[in-house]
Amino acid sequence: MGNFTTSSILLLFLFSSVVTSLPLSTNSRWIVDDRGRRVKLACVNWASHMEPVLAEGLSKQPMDTIAKRIVSMGFNCVRFTWPLYLITNDSLASLTVRQSFQQLGLLESIAGIQANNPSIIDVSLIKAYQAVVSSLGKNNVMVILDNHISKPGWCCSNLDDNGFFGDKYFDPDLWITGLTRMATLFNGVTNVVGMSLRNEPRGPKQNINDWYKYMPKGDEAVHSANPNVLVILSGLSFDRDLSFLKNQQLKLTFSGKLVFDAHWYGFSDGQTTWLKDNPNEVCGRVVTYMMNTSGYLVDQGYPLFIGEFGIDQSGANVNGNRYISCFLGVAAELDLDWALWTLAGSYYLRDGVVGLNEYYRAMDYNWCGARNSSFIQRISALQSPFRGPGLSEAKPHKVIFHPLTGLCITRKSLVRPLQLGPCTDTYPWSYSPQKTLVVKGTRFCLQTDASGTSVKLGIFCTGSNSKWETISDSKMHLSAKLRDGKSICLDVASDNTIITNGCKCISKDNACDPSSQWFKLVDSTRSSTRVERSLFPYLPGKGLVPNHLVG
């Protein structure tokens, strides 16, 4: 597939650069600013919950440099993790950064922090945490404070004693005290827009009754101490399951601030599920599970924040590579808020290993730039909202989104065929009850004449070659029938031209990869720069017509 150009990235950045008026609140399923306009949280996770209790990477680069690189990658938000003991354990809280690293024998990291961030080397750990939040604020990056764990360290397992209320390191009363102190500490810090109460509840002690007993207490404590922040709640089973809310709604004394959090990785579906089974069938199965356990909340009028997702950025994990196209299709279709795991290119100390490489990293090992710029380009279309309150730049329409590339169907010039391009530069489509895909405001529909050839726009839209059905369990194959009755599917050529081919991997076969043929019809109200009068002049009785058909 062809790559995004630098100018395309800039276009997306400019498109999404809308001043956000804080604080944030909720309006049904949407997060909005104080003017009522949709704000899409496009976040990246930045870990500060490990044994040193300092934001990762500060031995490699100045924090302001890292903040600017976060912005340059298109993120508007950081999910900033913290361990409960940072704010509740006096002996830990009183340590300076230097002392914390000395205790762990991390002398090389001390030298790096001294060189790159000298202002924090001899301040307390909580002051250093505040300094990072402040640096992000100066760069207009919103922050969600995420209580990731109690005892500092890597997270998470079922048996780490940090998983659920009553575990060795998870005392409910101490947790509420910590949330209250953290909410109070950041009250008035405008770029702190939310608090995620606890990461991935899990383990043998997890149960619904205690969830309902303690989670509302945490909600109320945070809101009482800092009524400006969103309160973000996680479900059970590593934040995979919020299905119990179907039977019992949460009762709170406040409104307009509650957001639910869900996590979804390829390994969440099984370490080898995407390898062993047919990708279309797996995608259909896991999307059904996700909609039943968390996605349904969107239809019930609650914002759903995917607080963690991600893949091995080296591209070597086939299981993850297949999952991510399925995930991005869902994220686009539902227009979800999200946070990528993770920013960290490397760790000071993880699982006893100094300088451990992070394969899911957004940054490279030395925190100098993006680890995988093509992946950042791929998610860039999802960093801006497709729809929501206050986003009525265009009449409701569809865009045809391609999860494998993160691009949409468009046309760069009249002499070029339809191809993939930035989703800010796409045709607005309508999808009729007759299953035709029509360029909105015109009479021209998407058609195919033969397998292996480019699709086209035509004006005779009643034939089977103009009727596009979503087939396969993934619901992402767009299929039409040729005049001889053969079914073909939309596909993408190596130069990003939109073509049709025989439909791939519909069922059973687990060896093939259908992702080049996966497309999502996404509802949108954001404007496009592509459809202009010069491309579709008006003819009396015919409406807007492509220039090459005029005459």
pLDDT in tens, 151-170: 999 999 999 999 999 999 99
Q: How far apart are CA 543 and CA 551, in angstroms?
A: 14
pLDDT of 414 reads 65
Nearest residue to 74 via CA among 4, 172, 131: 4
pLDDT at 19: 57
Please tell me the distance from the alpha carbon of residue 443 to that of residue 80, in angstroms, as a whole number: 49
Model confidence at 394: pLDDT above 90: no
156: cis peptide before it, omega within 30°?
Answer: yes
Determine the residue type at 149.
I
Nearest alpha carbon to residue 133 among 72, 84, 77, 86 = 77
pLDDT score, position 551: 30
Q: Is the pLDDT of residue 48 over 70?
A: yes
Q: Which pLDDT does position 529 carry in this prediction?
A: 63
The stretch 425-432 carries a mean pLDDT of: 94
Better-predicted residue by pLDDT, 496 or 17:
496
Tokens representing 139 are: 């760069």
Residue 293 to residue 392: CA distance in whole angstroms: 31
Tell me what pLDDT residue 544 has: 46
DSSP string for 106-168 = -HHHHHHHHHH-GGGTTSBHHHHHHHHHHHHHHTT-EEEEEEEESSSS----TTSS-SSTTST
- What three-state secondary structure class fits 199? coil
> Could you tell me if 339 and 77 are in contact, meaning their C-beta atoms sit under 8 angstroms apart?
yes
Which is it for strands 353-354 and 407-410: parallel, antiparallel or unpaired?
unpaired
Q: List the single range of 5-19, 313-327, 413-427, 491-505 with lowest mean pLDDT.
A: 5-19
Q: How far apart are CA 254 and CA 252, in angstroms?
A: 5
Give the start-end residues of each E strand in 440-536: 445-447, 456-458, 469-471, 477-481, 487-492, 498-501, 520-524
113: enclosing H helix or E strand: helix 107-116
Confidence of residue 269 (pLDDT cuts 50, 70, 90): confident
Task: Write out pLDDT tens, residues 519-547.
Answer: 999 999 998 765 543 444 444 444 444 44
User: Contact, 393 vs 525, CB < 8 A?
Assistant: yes
Share of the chain above pLDDT 70, in %: 92
Say which residue the tokens 């995930």 belong to. Answer: 327
Contact 145, 196 (CB under 8 A): yes
Q: Is the dihedral of CA 286, 291, 292, 297 positive or negative?
A: positive
Instruction: Tell me how far the alpha carbon of residue 423 is from its chain's centroid.
Output: 16
Q: Is the pLDDT at 14 greater than 80, yes or no?
A: no
Residue 294 DSSP symbol? I
Cβ atoms 463, 483 nearer than 8 A? yes
Query: What are the structure tokens assigned to 244, written together?
Result: 């119990």
- Predicted pLDDT of residue 412: 74
13 pLDDT exceeds 70? no
Radius of gyration for the alpha carbons in the chain, expressed in angstroms and rounded = 24
Q: Per-residue pLDDT averaged across 67-84, rounded? A: 98
Cα separation, 37 vs 388, in Å, equals 8
What's the half-sphere exposure (Cβ side, CA atoms, 13 Å) at 383? 31
As a whole number of angstroms, the distance between CA 28 and CA 258 comes to 10
Give all strands (DSSP E) within 4-139, no chain letters: 25-27, 30-32, 42-46, 77-83
| Full-model pTM | 0.93
Q: Higher pLDDT residue, 112 or 539?
A: 112
* HEC letters along 358-406: CCCCCECCCCCCECCHHHHHHHHHHHCCCCCCCCCCCCCEEEEEECCCC
Q: With 80 as the cut, is the pLDDT of residue 5 above it?
A: no
Q: What is the largest CA-CA distance in the chain?
A: 82
Amino acid 280: pLDDT: 96
Distance CA 472, CA 120 (A): 55
Residue 477, pLDDT > 60, answer: yes
Using the predicted structure, report yes or no on whether residue 134 has a pLDDT greater than 70: yes
What's the whole-number average pLDDT of the chain?
A: 92
From residue 394, alpha-carbon distances to 17, 391, 398, 528, 531 in Å are 18, 8, 11, 8, 12
